[in-house]
Amino acid sequence: MKKKTSPGLKIISINRKASFNYFFYDLIEAGIVLRGSEIKSVRSGKINIAESYAVEKDGEIYLINSHIPIYKQASYSNHNPYDERKLLLSRKEINKLIGKINEDGLTLIPTKMYFKKGRAKIEIAIAKGKKLHDKRHAKKTKDWNREKARYFRKSS
């Protein structure tokens, strides 16, 4: 089933592993600083945020380990695919995130990247890692829901 999205919203990349590995407490939308060759590569849809996370450096939030491949048509002015990228947040949001990270032992995980009105945005989740038994329980409920749907489909 296709999810409905609001008009003007084009999803580029979704981090599916994040919901399996983390509990989400809050979702925040942030802009992202990209160079010319990076935005061209993002517009072609070739981006991977599965293993990435965000950290605080010098009072700013940076996205680490996101992979934006090299844009073939950009010659000498190309970018580093695994470069750190600054996230655009207000000072109030940055202070809130820094407090959550330091006090509660939470982490910042990107869940999806999309274009909103032509601007590249990234959705960051304040998350806590799941333990092994939590992952087993999530898999068990997912399998049960799949079996239940299969049963109801056969019976009707």
Can you give the pTM of this predicted structure? 0.80
Domain boundaries, the chain: 9-130
What is residue 47's three-state secondary structure?
Answer: coil
Query: d(Cα 116, Cα 5) in Å, to the nearest integer?
Result: 11
CA 36 to chain centre: 21
Q: Are 113 and 125 in contact (CB under 8 A)?
A: no
Owner of token pair 């983390």: 22
Please report, in tens digits, the pLDDT of each residue of the chain (156 residues total): 455 556 678 899 999 988 888 889 999 999 999 988 888 888 888 899 999 999 999 989 999 999 988 887 877 778 888 889 999 999 999 999 998 888 777 999 999 999 999 899 999 999 998 888 888 988 899 899 999 999 888 887
CATH number of the structural domain 9-130? 2.40.280.10
pLDDT of residue 7: 67
pLDDT of residue 120: 92
